[in-house]
Amino acid sequence: MPQTTIAIVDDHALVRAGLSRLLEQSPHYTVVGTAANAAGAIALVRTTRPDILLLDLSLPDQDGLSIIPQLRTISPTTKIIVISMYDEPEYARAAIDHGACGLVSKAAPPEDLYAAIARARAGSPAPPEEHLTEREREIMALLRRGKEDAEIAAILDISAKTVANYCEHLMGKLGVHTRAGLIAHAKRLELVPHN
C-alpha cells in the first residue's frame, strides 16, 4: 500500500503535534508539514501537494471553510478533511459544500480519523453511520427495541455507565442530540435490521 502524505493545519500547537504523532504511528502515513493559520495552509499546500489535508475550521487569520476552494485550486488532487470541535451535521454539510471530503470531530476516536482518510483516498466519502463498530450497532439495535441502559448492559454484559458512554459517543458521531434522536436516526437509516 503506497504511503499517504498528510498535511495538518490547526492553530493549536498541541493539536498539530498530537495529530502528527498519531498519524506517524502508522507506516501508511507520512506527515509532510504543519501550519497554524490560513496563510500557512496555502503555502504548505503549494509546496507539499499532500494527498490529504487536515484543516481546522477556526483559524486566527481566516475561516477554514473560506480557503478550501483556493486550496483545491492550488492542488486539485489534495483531499481536504475538516477537523473541528463542532460535529453538528450543519458543519459537515458546510464543509462538503465548500469542497471538503468530510468532517471529523476532534473528540472522535483515532479510528474515525483513519476511516475518514481511507474514504477520502478512495474517493468515496461516506456518512459516519457507515462505519459504526459492531458494538455500536448492537447498542443501536437495542435502543430501537426500547431497551434502557440497564437492560442493554445486562444483555451485552457491560456496565450501564459504559452503555451511557456509547450512547453519548454515538450522538456526537451521528450528529443527534437526544436518545430519541438516536433511535429515530437508526430507524430512518435502517442501520440495523427490523425485528
Mapping DSSP onto H, E and C, the string for the chain reads CCCEEEEEECCCHHHHHHHHHHHHCCCCEEEEEEECCHHHHHHHHHHHCCCEEEEECECCCCEHHHHHHHHHHHCCCCEEEEEECCCCHHHHHHHHHCCCCEEEECCCCHHHHHHHHHHHHHCCCCCHHHHCCHHHHHHHHHHHCCCCHHHHHHHHCCCHHHHHHHHHHHHHHHCCCCHHHHHHHHHHHCCCCCC
| Domain(s) of CATH 3.40.50.2300: residues in the chain | 4-126
Mean pLDDT of all residues in 123-130? 58
Q: What is the pLDDT of residues 59-95, one digit of tens each?
A: 999 988 999 999 999 999 999 999 988 766 677 778 8
Q: Would you state the pLDDT for residue 188?
A: 62
Q: What is the pLDDT of residues 15-29, one digit of tens each?
A: 999 999 999 999 999
Q: What is the pLDDT of residues 161-184, one digit of tens each?
A: 999 988 888 887 776 777 787 887
| Domain(s) of CATH 1.10.10.10: residues in the chain | 130-189
Q: What is the pLDDT of residues 130-139, one digit of tens each?
A: 557 788 888 9
Class of the CATH-defined domain 4-126: alpha beta
Q: Would you state the pLDDT for residue 35?
A: 98
CATH of domain 130-189: 1.10.10.10
Q: What is the pTM of this model?
A: 0.65
